[in-house]
Amino acid sequence: MSNVTLYLFRHFHTKRGKQIVGQKDIPLSKRGHVQKSRKFSEGNLPEVDMLVMSPLVRATQSIEPWGEKTGMRIITVPGLIEIGCGDFEGKNIKALMQKRPDLFFSQNGKLYSFLREVPGVTTWENELREAEKTLLQFARDYPGARIAGSTHLGRMLALYSVASGIKAPDIFEMPIPHGQGIRLVL
């Protein structure tokens, strides 16, 4: 594409409990604030040209210290927002998976916590299209840039799927704990 390097990390731990969050705007938990303090006090951050974030508060809270530490302005990128889960947002995911396993991706008897094509929910195919648009935007608008950003698990997996060619449900095997990330070169 254009030699853009993206360092994307998953926002820190939130107050979500066992619910499906999606685009519900929830803040970091106490644990998330501790994770954030540790990450930014360690000082082993990649050298970057710009910072970006999802418009959701948990992503904002996760990257603000980086901006404060470097003096860089943080750009909100709507293409980094989490997958929309419609009426399922706020529902207990484990209970829903037990009651309606047909709503979730599965493979070889393993159920993944990602909703399939369900009315009112962003489909995985739409998520991949949005991810592709976001990657193309970065490549077009910021050639050669090194960019770090805070986003969400679903969007990270979609971006990685588009960049790497790994398809669902195999991409869901990729563990990305809160505060950890991926590196993509476009």
> Cα(74)–Cα(63) distance, rounded to whole angstroms?
8
Residue type at 96 in one-letter notation: L
Q: CA separation (Å) from 135 to 62, 120, 180?
A: 21, 25, 20
Q: CA separation (Å) from 38 to 14, 41, 53, 108, 174?
A: 16, 5, 19, 38, 24
Beta bridge partners of 75: 52
CB count, 10 Å around CB of 2? 14
Beta-strand ranges (E) seen in the chain are 5-10, 50-53, 74-76, 104-107, 110-115, 146-151, 181-185
**In contact, 181 and 8? CB cutoff 8 Å:** yes
Domain boundaries of the chain, sorted by first residue: 5-185
CATH of domain 5-185: 3.40.50.1240
pLDDT in tens, 118-142: 888 888 999 999 999 999 999 999 9
Residue type at 55 in one-letter notation: P
pLDDT in tens, 52-109: 999 999 999 999 999 999 999 999 999 999 999 999 999 999 999 999 999 999 999 8
